Structure 1
Amino acid sequence: MKSTSIFALFIFQFVSSVALSAERPNIVWLISEDNSMHYLKMYDDHGVETPRIAELAQHGLIYDHAFSNAPVCSVARTTLITGCYGPRIGTQYHRKSVTVPMPEGLKMLPAYLRDAGYYTANNSKKDYNATEGKGVWDMSSKKATWRSRREGQPFFYKQSFTATHESSLHFSKQVMANEKTSTDPETVFVAPYHPDTETFRYTNARYRDRIQLVDQHIGAVVDQLKADGLLEETFIFYFGDHGGVLPRGKGYAYESGLHVPLVVRVPEKWKHLVDAELGSRQSGFVSFIDFGPTTLHLAGVKVPEQVDGRPFLGEGVKAADVNKRDTAFGYADRFDEKYDLVRTWRKGRFEYIRNYQPFNFDGLQNNYRYRMLAFQEWRELYQAGKLNDAQREFFEPRPAELLYDVEADPHEVHNLASDPEYASVLKEMRSELSLFVSGLPDLSFFPESYLAEVAFENPVEFGKKRQKQIARLVKIADLSLLPFSKAKPKLLKALEAKNPWVKYWGLIACSSFGDEAKELAPVAIELAKNDSNRLVRIRAAEFLGLIGAADPQATFRQALKETDSGIEAGLILNSLVLLRDGKPGYEFEIDKSLLQPNLLENDTVARRLEYLAD
């Protein structure tokens, strides 16, 4: 009797699952690695033809303003799979030092499709900074396919294409001399911030060849769907996972790192779910937080309340409403061993970039990045004094604020932040971004090592409880945007605070002012010698080193000797490399024996020590 009941329950669940999944569209995500929209002809006259992607657009929609929220893969892909902003849920660092839990009550988005009867398959990259949990994928491997599902079962299928990955441009001078590209290097466009050299032209041409190869791979998947009789039952999303890999693309929060191609092919059977003319271009702003909610909504699955995104396709979603959306938020934090803190606010034709540590220049050493000959040559030309103003900026301290008219200046080389004509735009963008990061709340206003110690067991709850404190830290950071005479009394108050993170951000603001803040050096000297918090001492020494007021080496050596945190050591070494490679420059001698043995296992530490040993 008992076995009969169990069998009946199994049959009921099976039938319920089939009934639940009946008459739902299939959804496919096809993701090319490491390419922004600038390299496709359908977006940019300087791009290459991608005929198979163009075919998708003929029976679909081209999105002119689609954005990865982050310019690097693990952070971007975690945003995609969660529908949440990384700095809110603790997934903003690449590579992760700690795998954080998903927000309480939230699962990765494919799990909701699976619960609704979908077959979910991933081929095959994940690269998540959050714990995946159970029930996300039916199959995830290089052999994953929709063909493994039950007959008639709807499916969600995701595939990544690596042909355009950054590693494809890690070639030698011998390869450059001997391997010709299909694209003629003499015909390629060289961005105005790049030097126009043989190396950059060859790198551009080789990258364009790889994009055309990806186009063929995408076409092959579409052909498989057609052969299986599924093409007109399947939504196909094609997009890049973040910006392109030529220097100042991937890893950097400019349009070249964030603005991605997005084409959605709409199946005949389900075109009633799309309120737009097929073959048209859509002007509304959509970003990675929106892709998961859109997929769920197309599938008729309720979108979880905990996500940050909202659907841009599906029943009840009006194209006119989507096309009114005109803002996108971007973030860049640690990339491998290179630390930074950049936030962007794209609104209409303008992009506002807030460099919270403007002294931390873009071209600061990242070992993986500098495997590329173009990166190496760019820095060599800078050191030789052979670059123009736009080309030099990558290796020099940045303004705290950048404002670009992206329509007039698509490659972002003309900063309008100090132009009186755009003062009202700057003020509006500054205010909106400041309010946004405060309200998020943005966890990166605490150092990563502190978050790993006290926050990463439940990052969302940690942020909620400290939202007022984070808002205060944002205000301290924004003191660097005032004239120094107005900021000085507030900076002094911050440097005298009991809260270490108020002092921490006060010192970063001092470093942002540079020589203007030199009169605060005596206070910083005291902090560098005697503060109880190692990172406060380091930020004080960093400020003093940047302005040449005191030699920072003893403070750095002592802090590295004391710390038992690999994450903290990585942050300290980032500042050390900045002070060594930047101006005025210091001859640090750091032997690995100075650090506690367990720290050498930290990847960030290992990369920095490798570079320092060269």
Structure 2
Amino acid sequence: MKKLTCYFLLIGSLVILSCGEKSQKETKAKRPNIVFIMSDDHAYQAISAYDDRLIQTPNIDRIAKEGMLFTNASVTNSICAPSRAVILTGKHSHVNGKIDNISPFDTTNVTFPQLLKKAGYQTAMFGKLHFGNNPKGFDEFKILPGQGDYYNPKFITATGDTTVTGYVTDIITDLAIDWFENRRDAEKPFMLMYLHKAPHRTWMPAERHYKEFTKKTFPLPETLFDDYVTRETTAGPAEMNILKHMQLSYDLKVTDSVAEQLDIKNWNTIGNRIGRLDPEQRAAWDAIYDPINADFANRFPEMNDSTLMVWKYQRYMQDYLGTIAGVDENVGRLLDYLDDNDLSDNTLVVYTSDQGFYLGEHGWFDKRFMYNESFKTPLLIKWPHVITPGTTEEEMVQNLDFAQTFLEVAGVTAPEDMQGESLVPLLKGEKEKWIRDGVYYHYYEFPAEHAVKRHYGIATKAYKLIHFYYDVDVWELYDHSKDPNETNNVYNDPEYADIVADMKEKLTELRKKYKDSDELDNQFIEEYKDKGLIKE
């Protein structure tokens, strides 16, 4: 009898252990998958969920309809590589060391993909990283070298370089879906970083889109002819004006021969980009762009600055938005794959950009400034059964917050030196747990391309205070309720004296919180001078 009792006890123990192991496996399996989608220089104004005057983006909009649209998402440093370093590390640029596109990335930084991989996630990255050739924390990666190319791009892999024929946005999606189909481990949760080159300069759309978008005309932004009256020493010197600084050939596809024929100075060449097209691709390209060039050659002698500015703006929008049409289509392909393969239900999907971008506002292209179009970034997140579909969130959030958000979603404790805040309370509708009322920004890359001066600042929902430094000492304050376009600097207006004092106090607190200081600024400047990276 005792033997029989022991036997049943043993069987029972084995069943309990088996159930326990099964329960642990099920718990691990239930951890949400994460798909992080990021485009390069995608302005929120060019997503129809935010503004439908320029383009319709139904697939990107799907993420907002099934999830949450953030209207006050911003970056900590509006330039490509530093933004990506902030996202990976959850630390401000002055802490992770990647303050600009020039400085190297400190590979001793711990990134959230490393932590997720260590916690049992299968990780993959496809597309544009922009810095480094061997990203840590990934089971597999295929990334573009540097900026990469739109047509027939080269990719860096762990085993060597490879060139793929086709259009880059389509190819990056093909790579991601191929990974899902052939190498995803169904026993593990996954984290996919799906990173597009588009719509980064030089804005070369796919054939199916340039045939369509070169026929379109777009509304002019209110501030296209901004005169920078209250920002003469800060906004005025920037070298990103569409009329003065956008290259006719490099940016707008005017052929070298037409530029030479018209004796246009400072036109730069597009040849190295167009040269990647194979004969069939080139024939299709020339069939559309040659007539545009011929028309421009006929009209140019009669153009004044105003008409040339409008012509350049329209050409810019045609190509920029044409590349976004390709991104939207391919985001739809990926979302459809998740739906069709029963992966959507347990997958958090994020769509964002590495920063905002100027689409003619203030007469500009590019980014870098803390003004809204550059500082604010699109952010759309869906998470079935957690986020209420169709939610709009107005709280101040930043790319600094992504790392801690993903770690909390995965049940991984974030390192203490990460500086963001997990967005999970907002995603769950627990807004009472969100206490941030201002965000910090710092831009460093000056003197350099586009001549945007070094500056730092604080933004709240109501106001923005910016301090420009290095070769100037200028403060700016913007009242968002009265001046949404940020064209009127009211820093010296006596009516705003109390607001200035309050915002300066908040800015000081944020600089202390994030361990930034004038001393650190001066240290970076001296180090760069010593290395010859700053040429005065």
Does the alignment reach a TM-score above 0.5? yes
Matched, 1:234 2:269: no
Distance 1:110 1:17 in 2: 22
CA contact under 8 A between 1:297 and 1:315: conserved in structure 2?
Answer: no
Q: Secondary structure at the match of 1:120?
A: strand
Give the match for residue 203 of structure 1. 316
Q: In the alignment, which of 111, 115, 124 is matched to residue 114 of structure 2?
A: 111
Equivalent of residue 45 in structure 2, options 29, 38, 49: 38
Q: Which residue matches 2:533?
A: 570
Q: Post-superposition shift, 1:201?
A: 2.6
Q: Which residue of 2 aligns with 1:341?
A: 454
**Partner Cα separation in structure 1 for residue 391 and residue 41 of structure 2:** 25
Give the deviation of 1:450 after TM superposition: 4.1
Output the CA distance in 2 between the equivalents of 1:419 and 1:289. Answer: 33
- Identity percentage of aligned residues: 23
| 2:378 paired with 1:261 | yes
1:262 partner amino acid: L
2:509 is the counterpart of 1:446: no
Structure 1 residue aligned with 2:147: none
Are the aligned partners of 1:53 and 1:215 in contact in 2 as well (CA < 8 Å)? yes
User: Match for 2:491 among 413, 417, 423?
Assistant: 417
Of 474, 495, 504, the residue aligned with 1:430 is 504
- Alignment partner for residue 71 of structure 2, among 56, 64, 72? 64
Instruction: Report the counterpart of residue 60 of structure 2 in structure 1.
Output: 53
Which moved further from structure 2: 443-452 or 84-93? 443-452
Cα deviation, residue 68, structure 1: 1.6
Question: Could you list the per-position Cα deviations for residues 344-374 of structure 1 after superposition, in whole angstroms to 9, with x for gaps in the alignment?
Answer: 2111221211111364xxxxxxxxxxxxxxx
Structure-1 separation of matches of 2:318 and 2:480: 25
Assess, with a 3 A threshold, how the Cα gap between structure 1 residues 317 and 447 changes in structure 2: closer, same or farther.
Answer: same
Equivalent residues of 1:73, 1:242 under 8 A apart? yes
Q: Return the TM-score normalized by structure 1.
A: 0.58
> Partners of 2:199 and 2:358 in 1: how far apart?
8
**Retained in 1: the 8 A contact 2:47–2:60?**
no
Question: Counterparts of 1:342-381 in structure 2 under 5 Å?
Answer: 342-357=455-470, 359=472
Q: Counterpart amino acid of 2:140?
A: M
CA contact (8 A) 2:66 2:389 kept: yes
Q: Residue in 2 aligned with 1:76? A: 83
**Aligned counterpart in structure 1 of residue 400 of structure 2, from 282, 289, 293:** 289
Higher relative contact order (CA 8 A, sep 6+): 2
User: Per the alignment, do residues 299 and 48 of structure 1 end up closer, same or farther by CA in structure 2, a change over 3 Å counting?
Assistant: same
Compared CA separation, residues 347 and 152, structure 1 to 2 (3 A): same
Counterpart position of 1:219: 332
Give the counterpart letter for 1:217 in structure 2.
Answer: N
Aligned mates of 2:441, 2:525 — CA distance in 1: 22
418-427 vs 440-449, greater mean Cα deviation: 440-449
| 1:304 is aligned to 2:415 | yes
Size of the aligned set, in residue pairs, is 390
What SS is found at the alignment partner of 2:41? coil
**SS of equivalent to 1:284:** coil
Q: Distance in 2 between matches of 1:88 and 1:24?
A: 30
Q: How does 1:20-169 map to 2 (within 5 A)?
A: 21-44=28-51, 46-96=53-103, 98-102=104-108, 107-128=110-131, 134=136, 136-141=137-142, 143=175, 145-147=179-181, 148-168=183-203
For structure 1, the residue ranges without an aligned partner over 5 or more in a row are 1-13, 171-177, 360-398, 453-534, 536-564, 576-614
Change (3 A) 1:265 1:186: closer
Compared with structure 1, are the counterparts of its residues 321 and 351 closer, same or farther at alpha carbon in structure 2 (3 Å cutoff)?
A: same
User: Which structure 2 segments of 5+ residues have no match?
Assistant: 1-20, 144-174, 227-240, 242-305
Match of 2:257 in 1: none
Residues of 2 paired with 1:183 and 1:40: CA distance? Answer: 20
1:251 aligns with 2:368: yes
Judging changes above 3 Å, is the alpha-carbon distance between structure 1 residues 412 and 249 closer, same or farther for their aligned structure 2 residues? farther
Q: Which amino acid aligns with 1:301?
A: V
SS at match of 1:431: helix
Please identify which structure carries the higher helix content: 1
How far, CA to CA, are the matches of 2:408 and 2:116 in structure 1?
10
Taking a change above 3 Å as real, the CA distance of residues 41 and 441 of structure 1, as seen in their structure-2 partners, is: same
Aligned residues of 1:30 and 1:236 also touching (Cα < 8 A): yes
Q: Cα deviations across residues 562-605 of structure 1 (Å, max 9, x unaligned)?
A: xxx4x3x331x2x3xxxxxxxxxxxxxxxxxxxxxxxxxxxxxx
**Aligned equivalents of 2:447, 2:333: Cα separation in 1:** 34
Instruction: Write the deviation string for residues 244-286 of structure 1: whole angstroms up to 9, x where unpaired.
Output: 154354222221111011111122xxx24x4xx3211011111
Partners of 2:64 and 2:381 within 8 A in 1: yes
1:534-561 deviation line (CA, Å, top 9, x unaligned): x7xxxxxxxxxxxxxxxxxxxxxxxxxx
Who is 2:440 aligned against?
329
- Distance in 2 (CA, whole Å) between partners of 1:419 and 1:250 is 27
**Residues 358/351 of structure 1: CA separation in 2 closer, same or farther (3 Å cut):** farther
Amino acid at match of 1:110: P
CA distance in 2 between partners of 1:125 and 1:17 (Å): 36
Cα distance, 1:202 vs. partner? 2.3
Match of 1:446, SS? helix
CA distance in 2, matches of 1:402, 1:329: 15
User: Aligned equivalents of 1:183 and 1:350: distance in 2?
Assistant: 40
Render the CA deviation track for 1:455-496: whole Å, top value 9, x for unaligned.
Answer: xxxxxxxxxxxxxxxxxxxxxxxxxxxxxxxxxxxxxxxxxx
Q: Are 1:187 and 2:263 matched, yes or no?
A: no
> 2:431 and 2:483 mapped to 1: Cα distance?
27
